[in-house]
Amino acid sequence: MSSFSQRIIDWQKKYGRHDLPWQTKLNQAPDPYAIWVSEIMLQQT
């Protein structure tokens, strides 16, 4: 991986949004309703 790509990934891990409905934490099952609502909302924009 290029150094630029790695810097972007590192930045996302440190400063990026980590509370999005479709992102799950370790040992946590995804919430189908939250994913569905986020998909509908994203289609409206």
Contact, 28 vs 44, CB < 8 A? no
Say how many CA atoms lie within 13 Å of 29 toward its Cβ: 3
**In the numeric block, which tokens belong to residue 1?**
């991986």
Catalytic, out of 39, 40, 41, 44: 39
For residue 39, indicate whether it is catalytic: yes
Residues catalogued as catalytic: 39
